[in-house]
Chains A and B, each alone.
Chain A
Amino acid sequence: MTTRQKAGETRETAVRQDSDIAIVATAQLPAVRRQELTETEMLLMVVDEALGKVDLERSDIGFSCQGSCDYISGGTFSFVPNLDAMGAWPPIHESHVEMDGAWAMYEAWVRLRHGDIDIAVAMGSGKSSTGDPAAIYPLELDPYYLAPLGLDPVSLAALQARQLIESGKSTERELAEIAARSRRDAAGNPNQQVRAAEQDVDKLLAEGYLRNPLRKSDLPPISDGACAVVLVRGPRAAELTERPAWITGIDHRSEVHNPALRDLTDSASTRLAAARAGGVAGVEVAELMAPFTAQEVILRQSLGLADGVLINPSGGALTGNPLMATGLVRIADAAEAILADGRSRTLGHATSGPALQQNLVCVLEGDNR
């Protein structure tokens, strides 16, 4: 829980510059198979909740940015009605990216650094229940050569997992252990969709393949969901919450699109983004967007995360995967580890594209007291 500073109260904090930016509040809807609310209503709820945590009104917001995807929503300009979630009258400073909400947050962070506004809201939302992700997702591939193959994300993930195992970088047992651990962690997280599934590694390994070498437990659920975070610049952040989650670094990198031209067992772009975001030294919690078990191994190894780092204590994308919000949820969970759990340094990661093509890393810090 975040607490608002009482008038006149003083507190020791690290010296932060006016230009520093922090996450001061987050909100997410539980990932569910089918959300009855519209996307606009989902966003309305998370924006209300996030602003409510720090006693802000919509009129306090200097900029807002949404991340969503027309194809997932099933209609062109599907983001237009979502303006209502921010209440766009009088007119607002606003933008939209056709990417995960994590990239909407990146744009909001850039906008705050421009220097003329103090408070921004970033959102991500998606409803997979209204469509068929296996039919839609091949359309994000090269339209002339790859999309006509109908390669769905599960098949691509299986190719990636197969390479990982055959290169000796992982085993089917390790993947099952990741599934089991994620499910154990999700059991205590009401925001996660998969909370009561099998957690015994041997029983998971006894299950049949869905796409060799992947079993159902290696796959994410199909989810609807939304997330919002409130970003604040400089001293205002410390006024709004006791322990802001300062963004000490954020960066994102793309790679070559064609999966055949990449080493799928490595994530060079994640490593580069993390280095540009300040590195992983001292990170206590890493929320990695790894909707497939093998991707967690790849990300962990690419980042060189130490053994003691808590990985996806939320349960991660493997147990709740609201497309276009999943990445922002990872950052929000990494921020909550500071805001609510008192951690000092955490990392949130988001990915986009086939087999981890594009990756974003956000490093967050709390002030030591």
Chain B
Amino acid sequence: MTHERVAVVGIGQTKHKKRRDDLSIAGLVREAARRALDDARMTWSDIDAVVIGKAPDIFEGVMKPELYLSDALGGAGKPVFRVHTAGSVGGSTAVVASHLISSRVHRRVLAVAWEKQSEGNAQFGLGGGKSGSIGAGGAFAPWIRAYIRKSGAPEHIGWQVAVKDRQNALRNEYAHLQLKDISIDKVRESPMMWDPLHFLESCPSSDGAGAIVLTDEAGGDAAAADGRAPAWVLGTSMRSEPSSFNGRDPIRPQAGVDCAWDVYRQAGITDPRRQIDVAELYVPFSWYEPMWLEGHDIAPVGEGWKMVDRGETAFDGDFPVNPSGGVLSSNPIGASGMLRFLEAALQVRGTAGEHQVDGARVALAQAYGAAAQYFAMWAVGTDKP
């Protein structure tokens, strides 16, 4: 049984900000969803099913928010499905939505992911709601130190990524941080948060949502015929492994390697460094860029930092990473994965505006979660698979 082809024909996101005081939670998701529907030239009644993703309910204090959000997302009379796979959830939401179409259960699906961090205390939430918490940076810093020791990377690599992503964000009107005067010196001199991570090497807390409209092959063809290029889904994958055990490699988690190669296989990618034109990787802390370049076999092990150092991942480099500004510039946690996935689709549709990478035909999006143990990815392309 071959599965149905899946196309992204609508994309929307909110302006990501520290606080969206102007909107309720429902208003936030509706802003992104409306933009995606408008982009798809659809109305609420065109949508067969809604898939909602977000990180822990305890962040905002709303349990099972899909129930409350059913009204805002036109959910009455439809299947409304809620995914939660930690930080990878925004990606998983897109993957589950794509499966609803590839399996021929539905033809037009709206996927929405969000977080309104200003309505709660994410630091408290990340600590399991039980303590002050060491925070995500505290959890990841030891692995980043291990990566630096193992690879011999110089310390300026992290600063370079931080500057690059913030400069990219200046091209993206939706990005939260707009740091016009960002520089290597500023990053280096910003307060040390979790050694070796400085304040400016860390993601912000944001309010925001992302949404995509996915259709079957006929829907993708119709959009193409109408002059609105769809992003064809070339491959999707989700993988999980335990958070810790003797022998686990948290620098290059096997779940991430397997997830990437599952997508590469489906997309016919044998040489990711050459065959992928642009990548949106989940980089909440600067050093995760070189780590994921190696973790997904885009760079050889120990050499991800060299790609960064040579400027290859810069906006005008030959392997641009995070042209949107990435998680380092906008981090509504539950939506962060979705933003990677929708940016990849924007790029291959040629509709990324100021942050459009020339000639992007194949794009990879990745999201990870919890103790770098949950992975969701997809590859999208200009050509029908």
Contacts and interface: CB of A to CB of B under 8 A. Distances in A.
Interface of A: 18-19, 69-71, 74-81, 83-84, 88-99, 103, 106-107, 110-111, 113-116, 136-137, 139-144, 147, 251-258, 268-269, 272, 352-354, 357-358
A253 B84 contact: no
A116 B67 CA distance: 32
A256 B92 contact: no
B85 A96 contact: yes
Nearest to A146: B68
B56 A70 contact: yes
B143 interface: no
A91 B2 contact: no
A72 B21 CA distance: 29
A257 B70 contact: yes
B103 A99 contact: no
Nearest to B242: A88
Contacts, number: 180
Nearest to A112: B103
Identify which of A70, A84, A106, A115 gathers the most chain B CB atoms within 10 Å of its CB.
Answer: A70
B267 interface: no
A115 B3 contact: yes
B82 interface: yes
A113 B104 contact: yes
Contact of B64 (A79, A92, A353): A353
A328 to B, nearest CB: 15
Nearest to B256: A91
Contacts of A76: 56, 58-59, 125-129
Q: Which 7 A-B pairs rank lowest in CB-CB distance, beginning with the nearest?
A: A113-B103, A91-B255, A76-B56, A254-B80, A353-B67, A115-B1, A98-B84
Contacts of A18: 1
A295 B371 CA distance: 41
Contact of A143 (B60, B76, B239): B60
A164 to B, nearest CB: 21
B63 A69 contact: yes
Contacts of B80: 254, 358
Contacts of A144: 24
Interface of B: 1-3, 24-25, 56-64, 66-71, 75-86, 92, 96, 99-100, 102-105, 119, 125-130, 237-243, 245, 253-255, 258-259, 370-371, 373
A275 B327 CA distance: 43
A83 B242 contact: yes
Contacts of B259: 91
Contact of A254 (B63, B76, B99, B242): B76
Contacts of A78: 128
Contact of B258 (A71, A91, A256): A91
Given A71-B63, A143-B60, A89 B25 contact: no
Given A70-B56, A98-B82, A272-B77, A88 B241 contact: yes
A141 B1 CA distance: 42
A99 B96 contact: no
Nearest to B266: A116
B1 A70 contact: no
21 contacts: A19-B1, A75-B128, A75-B130, A76-B58, A76-B128, A83-B240, A90-B254, A90-B258, A91-B254, A93-B239, A95-B96, A96-B84, A97-B81, A97-B82, A110-B99, A114-B3, A114-B103, A140-B64, A142-B68, A254-B79, A257-B70
Given A81-B243, A92-B239, A113-B105, 16 more contacts: A69-B63, A70-B84, A75-B129, A76-B128, A80-B243, A83-B243, A91-B241, A94-B238, A114-B3, A115-B3, A254-B66, A254-B70, A257-B71, A352-B64, A357-B67, A358-B80
Contacts of A71: 57-58, 63
A24 to B, nearest CB: 19
Given A75-B129, A95-B92, A353-B67, A256 B76 contact: yes
Identify which of B62, B70, B84, B373 gathers the most chain A CB atoms within 10 Å of its CB.
Answer: B84
Contacts of B240: 83, 88, 91-92, 94
